[in-house]
Structure 1
Amino acid sequence: MLRVHFTATDFARLRFAARPAPLQELHAALATAVDPRGGPLFAPWRGRVLRSLPAAAGPLADLVPGGRPPSFLDVLGDTLADGFERIRATAPGIVRAELERVHGALPAPRWIHGLHEGDGAAWRTLRRAQQAAFDTVLAPVWPAVQDLHREEFARYALAAAEHGAAAALTGLAPGSRLHGGVWEWPGAGPARDVVLGGRGLVLLPTFHHPGGPLLQDAPGRPAVLTYPAGPGLPPAAGRPEDPSEALAAVLGRTRLDALRLLAEPRSTTGLARALRVSNATASAHAAALRAAGLATTARTGRSVTHRRTALGTLVAGGGPPYGAP
């Protein structure tokens, strides 16, 4: 069981990653590819991934001789380059300690020794391996991963707005519960207690690791919980890139139109005219979006103006409203 201990400060610093982290998703995918516990449903995907990995990605296997990757690989970052730079910025002492932990008495390839000594060529080997693996495993499905992340973000945001952060948090993990400031997640691997101590927690969904949560708990930094989300099986290439249908299923088609129209300030009458609905219906849609934190309403005298929030812009995805010319 995983137990995450929150303080009031940690709840105030609880946040959901705004975008997927390429390196975290890559490491989750590779961990799933080499783990046979996914069952027969994962066998075809696993076989395709392992057969397609180029030789340039081979050094990544050297980093996990016992299935335990060094912790300095667990970084956030909006792009692959950003993630790698964060890895490269790891203190040399931490790099050496983690390499010694995962390799122990096992023999290590020459380039791992170079990494241990801070050799630039060894770091370039790691970067080429990560790039090669990403290009093969994730690049073909990255638009789908981005869409799935937006959908998961919207689901969490709506749950938090309607039911509160505690309900949204437990909703991420069926069977989990929040009790006395402790989030308990049964069946999440060996017993482990993580004390946040005011550092906060970042929630990051992954769509390539169904086996349970992955927790990054670096001293002095917010903890990062990567949790399984999405439809179960990893996304396949060719998935439609437009998440409009999924968002419409959550918000309702007219309400999603309203959210997208509110990229610019609109009065209730202006919103009703654009949606081709009554003023009362437009006002009800604006109120629902406002309650979910997706829109704001400002009143000046008898005039009312609605506009979507930054969260609303992220959820809307920047696309045009349905039926827009």
Structure 2
Amino acid sequence: MLRIHFTGDDLVRTTLAAEPDALWEVSISMHRLQRRDTGVIFGPWRAQVLPRTPRSVRLLSPLAPAKGYCPDFLTPARGASRAAQIDALRSTGRQTVRADLDEFRRQNPRLRLPPWCTQLADGDARTLSRLADAADSYFDACLAPYWDRVRAHVHRDRARRVALLAHGGWEALFRTLHPSARWSYPVLELDYPVDREMRLDGRGLVLQPSFFCRYNVTTLVDPRLPPVLVHPIDHDPGWADPARPASRTRPLAALLGTTRAQLLHAVADGAATTQQLARRIHTTPANGSRHLTALREASLIHSQRHRNTVLHTLTPLGTALLNGRQPPLPA
């Protein structure tokens, strides 16, 4: 559980990032790449970028594992341009690098860092420069071709949250930030891999939408760094292939009906509540609930109660149907 403690000053200073953060997307998309995600949302992107992933990514992958802590120093200069971030990464101080690598070993005890990390911890500028170059090359090869689409999704998410803030205040924004979010002033609670108390102490909080963040929120470990909360956003299935003709999605609507087909695509974006799914496809919660029941009875989605709400996810059969693959045989 992550508990973020606000004061009145913190609410005044809390902001919504206007753009995706290049180096957060580098680190988080590396998780996606190493998890071998073949799902509806990121599977097509992964298949497209794997053949052109630069060899230098081998420097990044040990520090951005499929699961677990990623060193804070890999995401510096938040809000700056990518060039400024790469320069900041290249000039990270030795004490910061060493402390973050120690934290990596503590949080990922089953993972072994490669020998060159010893040079990194000792302040070897050449090794750190190679790491910065690897992040830059990875962005150019695997993220830059999609960056306009990434930015468009982030801008859409921000516009929706600005509207929520305007009409319902911080309570409305915080409660819809993530399916696990619980807001009771002055504390925002969210599901998190470990128990952690995050005290803003008047510094405010940057809410940073992330395109490649899928299920859980994430943040920096070092409490001395400017507070940031990185959170997932909604995706359009097929975003990695925008030229895909609409006719390829029509058979699903013909089979299930338009509303159920839209809901199935919306569920593919990750665990979500009935209200969130209804909002995504512009229908009422009551209508969405009725169609979700039909999808659940057809074994296309799975619904599980989570505290005081119900979260919906795709089943293997639903995933196969969206991907146009042969459905899995029953055991």
TM-score, scaled to structure 1:
0.65
Report deviation, 1:213.
0.3
Gaps of 5+ in 2: 245-331
Relative to structure 1, the CA distance from residue 86 to residue 188 in structure 2 (aligned partners, 3 Å threshold; closer, same or farther) is same
1: CA distance, partners of 2:123 / 2:21: 25
Secondary structure at 2:231 match in 1:
strand
2: CA distance, partners of 1:7 / 1:25: 29
Q: Which residue does the alignment assign to 1:130?
A: 135
Q: Which residue does the alignment assign to 2:98?
A: 96
- Code of the aligned partner of 2:3: R
In the TM superposition, what are the counterparts of 1:1-150 in structure 2 within 5 Å? 1-35=1-35, 42-64=42-64, 67-75=68-76, 76-103=78-105, 108-150=113-155
For residues 19-70 of structure 1, the C-alpha deviation after alignment (integer angstroms, 9 at most, x for no partner) is 2111111111111221257757644443444443121221102324684321
Which has more radius of gyration? 1
- Code of the aligned partner of 1:20: P
Report deviation, 1:223.
1.0
Secondary structure at 1:11 match in 2:
helix
Relative to structure 1, the CA distance from residue 163 to residue 38 in structure 2 (aligned partners, 3 Å threshold; closer, same or farther) is farther
For residues 3-24 of structure 1, the C-alpha deviation after alignment (integer angstroms, 9 at most, x for no partner) is 2111111111110112211111
Q: Size of the alignment, in residue pairs? A: 239
1: CA distance, partners of 2:89 / 2:159: 29
Relative to structure 1, the CA distance from residue 51 to residue 221 in structure 2 (aligned partners, 3 Å threshold; closer, same or farther) is same
- The answer (yes or no) to whether the contact 2:86–2:136 under 8 Å persists in 1 is no
Gaps of 5+ in 1: 241-325
Relative to structure 1, the CA distance from residue 5 to residue 126 in structure 2 (aligned partners, 3 Å threshold; closer, same or farther) is same
Relative to structure 1, the CA distance from residue 47 to residue 214 in structure 2 (aligned partners, 3 Å threshold; closer, same or farther) is same
1: CA distance, partners of 2:81 / 2:154: 15
2: CA distance, partners of 1:101 / 1:184: 24
Moved segments of 4+, more than 6 Å: 104-107
- The answer (yes or no) to whether the contact 2:198–2:223 under 8 Å persists in 1 is no
1: CA distance, partners of 2:121 / 2:145: 33
2: CA distance, partners of 1:212 / 1:149: 17
- The answer (yes or no) to whether the contact 1:15–1:203 under 8 Å persists in 2 is yes
Secondary structure at 1:225 match in 2:
strand
Paired-residue identity, %: 32
Relative to structure 1, the CA distance from residue 18 to residue 36 in structure 2 (aligned partners, 3 Å threshold; closer, same or farther) is same
- The answer (yes or no) to whether the contact 1:5–1:181 under 8 Å persists in 2 is yes
Relative to structure 1, the CA distance from residue 70 to residue 217 in structure 2 (aligned partners, 3 Å threshold; closer, same or farther) is closer
Among 142, 161, 174, the alignment partner of 1:169 is 174
